[in-house]
Amino acid sequence: MKAFLFNNKHEEFLKVYTFNEDKMNSSNKIKAIILAAGKGTRMKSSLPKVLHKVVGKTLLERVINSVLELSSIDEIFTIVGHQSEKVADFINNTYKESCKPIVSIKQEPQLGTGDAVFKAYDSLKSFKGTVIVLCGDTPLLTSETLQSFIDFHKQNNAALTVLSAVFDDPKNYGRIIRNPDNSVKKIVEEKDSGAEEKKINEVNAGVYCIEWEQVSPAFFELTTNNKQGEYYLTDIVDWSVRKNLKVQAYTLEDNDEIFGINSRFDLATANYLLNSRTLDNLMENGVTIIDPDSTWISPETQIEQDTVIYPGCIFEGENIFGKDCILGPHLFIGGNVKTGNNVKIFQSRVSNAIILNNCSIGPFAHIRDNVEISSDVRIGNFVEIKKSTIDEFTNVSHLSYVGDSSLGKNVNVGAGTITANYNPLTKAKSKTIMEDGVKIGSNSVLVAPVKISKNANVAAGSVITKDVPENSLAIARGRQTVIEEWVTKKTMNDK
């Protein structure tokens, strides 16, 4: 594996990802161009439009992820413009482990969609395969639809295929005009269409499959002879027809997939649509969702049958929940959570955790930062667990903090126990170890690094700073003193 830096005579590549040195172009390979240069003025945001999130992931991330799932995808070019460095840095950080090269290319100035695609020309001029072009603000487009679109394109031996959709009200969309043999004759924009053309309800969805060797010469003949003074990508359709190339259109089954984001209202709508799709799939596969209107679950979350989701739950990121779980109400899952079966999590916040069978978490617990909890464990109310492992049949039931710790089997941690794992002077974090059978009395502080060995007990109210051997009782508190009749004497003296 070797990283290279290219020079592009049109624009400089901002970021280049690692790729195989011996990678060769092939007619079976597919490259993608994702258009992500727009400013998104209607978003009224300091953040680039494509970096706004839909159900926990950015618009651009959802588009790239769908493309990466395609069977023959070989390379992705992302065309960036507005705040290009921020967008390119996001791609670099998010996909640094990607097995496919993802390249960001700057478009400046932004002279239209045709110009945006042309920015990738130098990197594709020797490529003889298929290029798919799509927009970075269409986060609902699925990999299944894209794969079907590509398969249709190849099966029909088309030089160019346009993704289309049928709307009851196609206002403001370019109309697809077909020939008697069902191939595409042309695309007519709304402002240029006549009365009969306006009646056509099949529209251009803005996604293209291109046989690059045949169609790429069109980009040298694009003009700005239009009201916007821009190079339109749609003009490659007219060019291909004039050159007697085969142009086809593949019609979407679900129009929601091409929903584009241009405003905060659109963003909210996309969140709703993607979440509804996710919840429908889960319910079809045997998950009970008590109130879909108050439940938000990422598409990356997997939930097995007979698990029940109560109202007020938000699940972000990638998660796997087993069978017969009870989740919620009012549960926030921050991602990277995996549970076994029959796990109950109530009114809590959980992220980066593995929780095995028959565990009970909450209410009002906080589990975070690489926690591993074995089977039959009870984590109770107002307990925080951070970067720790907890073995079977252990209880941390009330008002405790356990950080950077290892708890064995059958441990009982009393209410109010704190593992003091942080040294504010050195900023070092140290480990607390509680071996099997340990019992910690209420309101104890275990000052790490410290080890409580097997079956040892710590008396309530103790501050433990040294290791405790097996089967011992550790007491570290002041001796209790009782002054009899103190209250009576005090009262009399005050008079």
**pTM metric for this prediction:** 0.85
Provide the Cα torsion 385, 389, 394, 397; round to 10°.
0
pLDDT band at 495 (very low <50, low <70, confident <90, very high): low
Q: Higher model confidence: residue 495 or residue 185?
A: 185
Averaged pLDDT for residues 390-405: 98
Nearest by Cα to 440 from 492, 405, 480, 489: 405
Q: Where are the domains of the chain?
A: 13-258, 264-474
Separation of alpha carbons 104 and 8, rounded Å: 12
The pLDDT, as a whole number, for residue 9 is 35
The pLDDT, as a whole number, for residue 20 is 41
Nearest by Cα to 33 from 123, 111, 97: 123
Q: For the chain, what is the radius of gyration of the CA atoms?
A: 30
The per-residue pLDDT for range 21-43, each reduced to its tens digit, is 334 445 588 999 999 998 889 99
Percent of the chain with pLDDT over 90: 80
Q: Give the mean pLDDT of the chain.
A: 91
The pLDDT, as a whole number, for residue 28 is 80
pLDDT at 109 > cutoff 50: yes
Averaged pLDDT for residues 196-203: 89
The pLDDT, as a whole number, for residue 27 is 58
pLDDT at 470 > cutoff 90: yes
pLDDT at 442 > cutoff 90: yes
CATH class of 13-258: alpha beta
pLDDT at 278 > cutoff 70: yes
Percent of the chain with pLDDT over 70: 94
Place of tokens 């007491």: 475
Is 296 exposed, middle or buried, given 0-12, 13-18 or 19+ CB atoms closer than 10 A? buried
Q: Higher model confidence: residue 241 or residue 173?
A: 241
What would the CATH number be for the domain defined by 264-474?
A: 2.160.10.10
The per-residue pLDDT for range 425-438, each reduced to its tens digit, is 899 999 999 999 99
Q: Higher model confidence: residue 13 or residue 267?
A: 267
- Please give the C-alpha separations between residue 28 and each of 31, 74, 105, 135, 211, in angstroms, as whole numbers: 10, 9, 24, 23, 11
Residues designated as active site: 398
pLDDT at 79 > cutoff 80: yes
Do 264-474 and 13-258 have the same topology in CATH? no
The pLDDT, as a whole number, for residue 193 is 79
The per-residue pLDDT for range 301-345, each reduced to its tens digit, is 999 999 999 999 999 999 999 999 999 999 999 999 999 999 999
pLDDT at 373 > cutoff 90: yes
The pLDDT, as a whole number, for residue 110 is 85
The per-residue pLDDT for range 116-126, each reduced to its tens digit, is 999 999 999 88
pLDDT at 15 > cutoff 90: no
Averaged pLDDT for residues 205-232: 90
pLDDT at 11 > cutoff 60: no
- Please give the C-alpha separations between residue 339 and each of 193, 333, 357, in angstroms, as whole numbers: 56, 12, 7
The pLDDT, as a whole number, for residue 92 is 94
